[in-house]
Amino acid sequence: MNIAYTEDGIISVELKNNSTKTITIKTLEIEFETEPYFKPYSVKSTNPVKIKSKNIKKIEVSFSTKLILKHSTNVYKIKITLENQTHSKIILGAISNSLIIHSCRPVTNLAFISHKDPEDTELGNKVNVYLQKIGFKGYLAESDSRPGLNFWKEKILPKIDESNVVIILWTENASQNPKNILREVNYAKKKKKRIILVIEKDVKIPKEFSKHIQYHAVSSIINEKEIVKLVVDMDKTYREGGYI
């Protein structure tokens, strides 16, 4: 099965009762692989299903391709709980299968990620992982492998010009030495770019961040859970005509 992020899907499992008695499938649970920070995502069938001796039944389970799911080949496990006529509960060992999850649209949009380098480079790369799931390529200047180019004039400025949106990761690290980030922000404002300011809790905001900049406050530090919330909101905005 091939499916895109944010889409709904159905997994069909065909079961045969090889016993001499009717059995009842109490639950059929499907557990998907998720990104490293998150617990496995699972869904269950909602209604018990009776299968007579030697009969076959198909059980369908609905699921949503959330952004926390692992990209590309995603191996899922199927766990079945059943009862026989003596009401003995039996849990069958997990059966593995896989599906392919891809971006919900071609990765043709650009998001410039303004951040404190190198302290927040890993954080910026995590943002890029989730952005690509909704069709955005996150640009981090230090990851631009073109040698010999002027860092500011030939890397940063052209990519801000090219970007659909500028994302600022305003962390404690960034607030300690904000010179380069503020320089990028001022240029983005000059170019009338859409700007999203992601602010860690209790980090002071400088005056350069005007009321015209969209704020995305987080409850504590910027972690993967908060990144997913940001990207989900960005996807909704994109579907409503933003960032175009």
> Can you tell me the distance from the alpha carbon of 112 to that of 216, in angstroms, rounded to the nearest whole number?
16
Mean pLDDT of 77-85: 87
DSSP E strands, 140-206? 165-170, 195-199
Structure tokens at 60: 């369908």
Domains contained in the chain, CATH given: 2-102 (2.60.40.10), 109-239 (3.40.50.10140)
Q: Which amino acid is at 157?
A: L
Q: Please give the pLDDT value at position 87.
A: 66
Mean pLDDT of 55-75: 97
> Can you tell me the distance from the alpha carbon of 207 to that of 204, in angstroms, rounded to the nearest whole number?
10
Cβ–Cβ < 8 Å for 190, 160: no
Mean pLDDT, the chain, whole residue set:
93
Q: Please give the pLDDT value at position 83.
A: 85
Mean pLDDT of 231-240: 96
pLDDT tens-digit profile of 165-200?
A: 999 999 999 999 999 999 999 999 999 999 999 999
Q: Please give the pLDDT value at position 165.
A: 97
Return the residue matching tokens 């692989």.
33
